[in-house]
Structure 1
């Protein structure tokens, strides 16, 4: 059963939830329904801190709101714990797609790390096949309910492990079975993209697109590594790219901005930033600028012409949705419908779809916003 969507409205009355949207940065193991966790945990004998759905949802949000990425990631021990069987993976993926469809997403890229789902004897290939089966069931559910959605998998390697090439080969092996791209995730500081250079070389030889978590828990060197070792076409978060931008406010009327070579490169190449506002607050990614949404460099990057996109990262941990993130940004920075459309067009342009499909996606977004 699909979670009931919450309608978020702009001041002019436009329903953000009903608008066609693109989701690029959304973790499968960060988007489970609390009640599903409870039911799956009971079937495998996994102890939980709470056995009521609402209470469990509150527990995840509280534990995730620590200001530390390392602490934030600990909550995933529970979600990955209930995703070790074929049945668990299928159900979670199916419901994930249902919830995206209910939120107005028409193209979603779901990232997840197959190597974290082998505890019950599944092979890497079996995990990908199970997730794809759930995705296809979810797509059918959305379509049968009158909606429209397409989904691609982003197969992720854990940057602290030593399986990068193996996971890259897995991703390429399933490029005809729903996998559209590759990612690395996990503890960022101390584990640069260069450690997985062999995997990225393999992906480049096979013309397979990559996005890399960078500029979240580490700074500019991590972003450089993502771009030049990882050949990243997008930056997962990338919010700390703002460290390479100098803002000099001489007075209330005159502000001067200077981009460093790295930020200028990212801007000129139109490399998309997969920004996740609520998550960035929770993990402390923007702590050098402040601890409220108004302090987030999102608007600075947008006004300077970077290809900013809006994402949820982990909907369970942040108690959020793509519509909610857009509503929060609109309220904080006084964005209107045209701004939200730009964010969706940016995401469509940066998606790991063939050019013709991206053009079709742009048309769907434009038509949907015109009718709003």
Structure 2
């Protein structure tokens, strides 16, 4: 059995071997980000010994601190460890490509056959199950990241209320939350000298509106919106859901509420990162070019937020100010997820059967901790096929 690679030694694997592994994981890796990062530890650290435990923990810590989908960032970091930018780039593409192709195929089928009763029936059941899944995800994230911290709870509740009231996400509030916790817990030295530029701080709300001010083509609008969304995916891939809802449904009107819930459902039943739903949304808006632009724009910030700080992370990753800033943004993101549950549920839970599916989903995930979401989603799809025709007939 190969020994773990030590610092300065030649890697125990070829780059193409790691790329092939990530390609396979992206094609069959169900279970969400927690399961995906667990597979990487089991296979690459404990099984093949391609990486040390320290490599893995450093990558996981950076992935949790920086914005971006957790599993994709960890994959990119592992590619960077021994093969730097080339490794990070090829590994990131390999991990995302399979699920992107799957959601594009589903988008094509959805556009072509969306009017058929069987597809409507499938999403009737799956959409309700997705609500239950997001409820439990928000619960787990709240317990893990907010805990009993009063300041984080205040941020969490505020963002949840704002999301419910506006049915959209205000990006600058996430940044403001991070700055607030940073200055409260670990104020920088220049702040005590009156160095805070109050005029600059007042311009933060303006930043969130710049993306919608320009008169641009649809593809440019897609690129700008999804790049902004990708830069604020803190805490979980599901953190992007309220951002997407506010932009594609409320602000731009690219999708209806039903189409948006269907897009989230597609992300739940496909392997790879949940964030890949942006490919499905982009396809519905502007076909294959829209899907490609949406995916690239979303994952580019994730890539940059991994490869740029990677060389310096060991030195600065545990600085109190950095940790505090990320804590604030994470609390805000999880609060937005909680608020988005209510917003989306109002459009999805429309009758007794859908309410029961959502409740049963919550109960099952609460009772059986290791139950994987795709199993529930597939069961909900079958229930939808059985129940939807009956409800429509009545």
Question: What TM-score do the two structures reach when normalised by structure 2?
Answer: 0.25
Structure (1 or 2) with the greater strand fraction: 1
Structure (1 or 2) with the greater helix fraction: 2
